[in-house]
Amino acid sequence: MVESVIKNWQGEQVGETTFDLPVAKETTAVHIVHRALVRQMTNSRQGTASTKTRAEVRGGGRKPWRQKGTGRARAGSIRSPLWRGGGVIFGPKPRDFNLKMNRKERRLALRTAFISRAQDLIIVEEFSNELERPKTKELVSALARWGAAPEQKTLLILSEIAENVLLSARNVENLKLIAADQLNVYDLLHADKIVVTPSTLAKIQEVYNG
């Protein structure tokens, strides 16, 4: 059970809330979160790097010079890996880096990572109505009042992303905005501060609560 205060748009404490999510055992928590993080970062690799072997490089079908009698080293092709413009030895080829992880394990890792950041969690009232029009400066000021300094990496999680909030947040250097149903381990661990609303907590509990 995690207890936390709720702040309003001005940064004042206006209430308290509690929430709870089933997490991994203490002995296995680090391992499962690490597995989920490695999976996410590995699966983000495109795997499209490719080089040509000596068989794929254009040209090189004719023997450059005769085998014996020239005084030079033997050569059978100008596309040998030893030659400039030749093929590449053991170079990268397109491959699939995807790692598999069971859905229950992925969700357990997400819940464990989220609860582990409880000390850096900031809960604020719904504030989309406070932004009558897109205004980055007002959102940055509000984040500072809530305790998320501009130089800190901040993750803003909302159950529903209003257009004014999206337009206000998209140009802030250290701010990342995601929906509650798009949680991922990397963003949760990478952020210095995590800002959520009560409806976001309810959504997270609904979607990820086992």
Residue pLDDT, tens place only, 82-128: 999 999 999 999 999 999 999 999 999 999 999 999 999 999 999 98
Residue 166 has pLDDT above 90, yes or no: yes
Q: Find the helix or strand (DSSP H, E) in which 137 lies.
A: helix 136-146
Torsion of Cα atoms, 167 then 170 then 174 then 177, to 10° = 80
Torsion of Cα atoms, 156 then 160 then 161 then 165, to 10° = -70
Reported confidence tier of residue 2, pLDDT bands at 50, 70, 90 = confident
So what's the pLDDT on residue 3? 83
So what's the pLDDT on residue 45? 94
Strand 2-7 relative to strand 13-19: parallel, antiparallel, unpaired? antiparallel
DSSP state of 120: G
For residue 165, give the amino acid letter: V
Percent of the chain residues past pLDDT 90, beyond the cut: 80
Q: Are 4 and 123 in contact (CB under 8 A)?
A: yes
Residue 1 has pLDDT above 80, yes or no: no
Residue 81 has pLDDT above 80, yes or no: yes
Beta carbons within 8 Å of 16's beta carbon, 6+ residues apart: 3, 4, 5, 6
Q: 2-45+102-209 has which CATH code? A: 3.40.1370.10
209 vs 195, more confident: 195
So what's the pLDDT on residue 72? 96
Least confident of 2-11, 92-101, 191-200: 2-11
Q: Are 2 and 19 in contact (CB under 8 A)?
A: yes
Nearest to residue 121, comparing CAs of 145, 147, 159? 147
Tokens of 161: 């992303």
Mean pLDDT to the nearest integer, 174-193: 94
Coil, strand or helix at 139: helix
pLDDT tens-digit map of 142-161:
999 999 998 999 999 999 99
Residue 210 has pLDDT above 70, yes or no: no
User: Using CB atoms within 10 A of its CB, is residue 133 exposed (0-12), middle (13-18) or buried (19+)?
Assistant: exposed
Mean pLDDT to the nearest integer, 13-28: 90
CA-to-CA separations, 23 to 26, 33, 35, 110, 193, in angstroms, rounded? 9, 11, 15, 9, 20
So what's the pLDDT on residue 196? 94
Reported confidence tier of residue 209, pLDDT bands at 50, 70, 90 = confident
pLDDT tens-digit map of 27-52:
999 999 999 999 999 999 999 999 99
The full set of domain ranges for the chain reads: 2-45+102-209, 47-96
> What span, in angstroms and rounded, lies between the C-alpha atoms of 168 and 139?
7
